[in-house]
A and B are shown apart, each in its own frame.
Chain A
Amino acid sequence: MLRRLRTLAQSSMSRYIVRRLLYMIPVVLGISIIAFITMYAAGDPISLIKMGKPNIDATTLNALKAYYGLDKPIPIQYLKWLTNILQLNFGKSLYGGGSVNSLIGPEIWPTIELQVISLIIAFAISIPIAVLSARKPYSKQDLTVTSFSLFGVSMPTFWFGLILIIVFSFSLGWLPSAGAKGAAGFLWWGNPALDVIAHFILPVIVLVYVSLAQNIRLIRANMLEVLRSDYILAARASGISDRKVVYRYALRNAITPAVTFLALALGSMLAGAPMTEYVFSWPGLGRQYVSSTLGLDFPTIMAITMLITVMTLIANLIMDILYVYIDPRVRIR
Chain B
Amino acid sequence: MNTENNKSNSVVKRRSASQWAVAWRRFRRNKAGVFGLIVVLAVVFIGIFGDFIAPYPAFPNPQALAPFYNGNVRTPPNSHYLLGTDVLGTDVLSDILHGTKYALYVGVVVTLITMAIAIAVGAISGYFGGAVDNVLMRVTEVFLVFPSLLFILIFVRVLTLGAGVGTAINFLGITIPTGLTIVILVLAIFNWPGDARMIRGEFLRVRELEFVEAEKALGASNKRIIFRHILPNILSSIIVVASLTIAYAILLEAGVSFLGFGDVNTMTWGQILENNFANMRVVWWAELFPGLAILITVFAFNLLGDGLSDALNPRLRD
Contacts and interface: CB of A to CB of B under 8 A. Distances in A.
B245 to A, nearest CB: 13
Interface in A155-180: 155-159, 162-163, 165-166, 170
Interface in B253-275: 254-255, 258-261, 270, 273
A150 interface: yes
Contact of A27 (B142, B154, B158, B306): B142
Contact of A39 (B154, B273, B280, B284): B154
B158 A162 contact: no
B154 A166 contact: no
Nearest to A304: B150
A308 B147 CA distance: 7
B299 A275 contact: no
Contacts of A224: 318
A277 to B, nearest CB: 10
Contacts of A313: 145
Nearest to B254: A156
Contacts of A159: 254, 258, 273, 287, 291, 294-295
Contact of B287 (A39, A162, A271): A162
Interface string B162-190: 10000000000000000000000000000
A170 B149 CA distance: 30
A275 B259 contact: yes
Nearest to B269: A156
Interface stretch (A14-22, A63-71, A287-295): A287-295
B304 to A, nearest CB: 11
A22 B299 CA distance: 42
Given A157-B255, A275-B259, A163 B302 contact: no
A163 B291 contact: yes
A42 B294 CA distance: 32
Contact of A150 (B251, B294, B306): B306
Contacts of B280: 162, 165-166, 170
A170 B281 contact: yes
B128 interface: no
Contacts of A316: 145
A98 interface: no
Size bin of chain A's contact surface: 35 or more
A258 interface: no
A296 interface: yes
Contacts, number: 127
A274 interface: yes
Contacts of A138: 318
A27 B145 contact: yes
Interface residues of chain A: helix, strand, loop or mixed (majority):
helix
Interface in A137-193: 137-138, 147, 150-151, 153-159, 162-163, 165-166, 170
Contacts of A309: 145-147
A284 to B, nearest CB: 13
Contacts of A304: 150
A166 to B, nearest CB: 5
B298 interface: yes
A105 interface: no
Contacts of A38: 151, 154-155, 158
Contacts of A312: 145, 147
Contacts of A305: 147, 150-151, 154
B150 A156 contact: no
A154 B150 contact: no
B109 to A, nearest CB: 19
Nearest to A137: B318
Contacts of B273: 158-159, 162
Contact of A294 (B261, B270, B277, B299): B261
Interface in A11-50: 27, 30-31, 34-35, 38-39, 41-43, 48
Interface in B227-271: 247, 251, 254-255, 258-261, 270
B116 interface: no
A203 interface: no
Interface in A264-282: 264, 267, 270-272, 274-275, 278
B145 A35 contact: no
Q: Most chain-B CB neighbours within 10 Å: which of A35, A162, A278?
A: A162
B32 interface: yes
Nearest to A312: B145
B306 A267 contact: no
User: Which 10 A-B pairs have CB atoms at the shortest separation, nearest pair first?
Assistant: A159-B291, A271-B147, A154-B299, A42-B158, A154-B298, A271-B149, A166-B284, A308-B147, A162-B287, A293-B153
10 contacts: A30-B142, A156-B255, A159-B254, A163-B288, A165-B280, A166-B284, A170-B280, A264-B145, A270-B147, A274-B150
Given A147-B32, A271-B148, 7 more contacts: A150-B299, A155-B298, A156-B251, A166-B280, A270-B147, A274-B153, A312-B145
Interface of A: 27, 30-31, 34-35, 38-39, 41-43, 48, 137-138, 147, 150-151, 153-159, 162-163, 165-166, 170, 224, 228, 264, 267, 270-272, 274-275, 278, 289-290, 293-294, 296, 301, 304-305, 308-309, 312-313, 316
